[in-house]
Amino acid sequence: MNAQELLKLLELVQCGKLTPAKAIERLKHLPFEDLDFAKVDHHRTLRQGFAEVIFGKGKTPEQIAKIVRAMLAKKDSKHNILITRTDAKTFSAVKRAARKESRLAKFHPLSGVIAIERDTKIVGKGTILVVSAGTSDIPVAEEAVVTAEMMGNEVQHFYDVGVAGIHRLLANREALTKARVVIVCAGMEGALPSVVGGLVGVPVIAVPTSIGYGASFKGMAALLGMLNSCASNVSVVNIDNGFGAGCVARENDRG
């Protein structure tokens, strides 16, 4: 181990067997990044705070169950566990793996998210509002909602408030203006974030969804629309990236 190597080196200095100058020479060639590794890891843990995350897509139910079991085995921490892009079959495997804590595991079928909420403390300072333009955007919105909740935020949501029926959005303006961060999920023309951005004075995180057909080009139209938003408080994440939006909102709400 590097820390041990370093200790040895310092003990050689302490007992006079190595001059400080020569120690510096040796230190330059030490793989010091390993120390760095530890430090960053520590940062990671601090940062991710309430949740450990598994990207489920491309992993078998067994693989996911195994990772979950290892996470739950850690004694010293009671982090929430979030598994994205998964399915009912994986949920069964996860429940079995969770044993005593299996009743904490919850499956969100629209988004395919599994959440094991072991710590319900709220660490965010305000409310994160998740808005979806259509009912088809709800899976992405739900991924954002659960992500933000599992990371210790108060989350509220309004679904199906798209721009072609602008009154539905306006009817909820009070809630909009009270939110600390707004996540807006929209496919097709992706116009909703601009409208929301004009109504609120907080960060708006836009999530283009792959909803649509023809010239929507699997979310490309919505993505371009959001990047060109005429509202100056809008930033954008990848197509269908509800998880990313939840994370960015969390960072915003922690500050």
Given 74, 78, 168, 178, the residue binding its own copies (CB under 8 A): 168
Q: State in angstroms the smallest separation of the CB of 100 from its own copies.
A: 29
Q: Which is nearer to its own copies, 102 or 251 (CB)?
A: 251
Q: Which of 52, 142, 143, 189 touches its own copies (CB under 8 A)?
A: 189
For 70, residues 6+ apart whose C-beta sits below 8 A from its C-beta are: none
CB of 61 to its own copies, least distance (A): 17
Identify which of residues 95 and 132 has a Cβ nearer to its own copies in the complex: 132
Q: Confirm or reject binding of residue 164 to its own copies (CB under 8 A).
A: yes
Cβ distance to its own copies smaller for residue 45 or 102: 45
Q: Which is nearer to its own copies, 87 or 251 (CB)?
A: 251
* Residue 177 interacting with its own copies (CB under 8 A): yes
Taking the complex as a whole, how short is the minimal distance between the CB of residue 32 and its own copies, in angstroms? 5
Is residue 178 a contact point for its own copies (CB under 8 A)? Answer: no
Q: According to the binding rule CB under 8 A, does residue 242 interact with its own copies?
A: no
Q: Which residue from 3, 88, 110, 122 is in contact with its own copies, where contact means CB under 8 A?
A: 3
Distance CA 48, CA 44 (A): 6
Token representation of residue 67 = 């990772």
Nearest to 200 by CA among 169, 233, 165, 226: 233
| 104 lies in the site for its own copies, by CB under 8 A | no
Query: Measured from the CB atom, is 97 or 242 closer to its own copies?
Result: 242
Amino acid at 125: K
Minimum CB separation of residue 179 from its own copies in Å reads 11
Closest to 81 measured CA to CA, from 104, 51, 101: 51
Enumerate residues 35-64 that contact its own copies by CB under 8 A: 35-37, 39-41, 43-44, 46-47, 53, 58
Alpha carbon separation from 141 to 103, 160, 216, 231, 244 (Å, rounded): 24, 11, 19, 21, 11
Least distance in Å: CB of 184 to its own copies?
A: 12
Among positions 208-237, residues that touch its own copies (CB under 8 A) are 208, 210, 212-237
Window contacting its own copies (CB under 8 A); options: 11-19, 71-79, 91-99, 109-117: 11-19
Are the C-beta atoms of residues 210 and 182 closer than 8 Å to each other? no
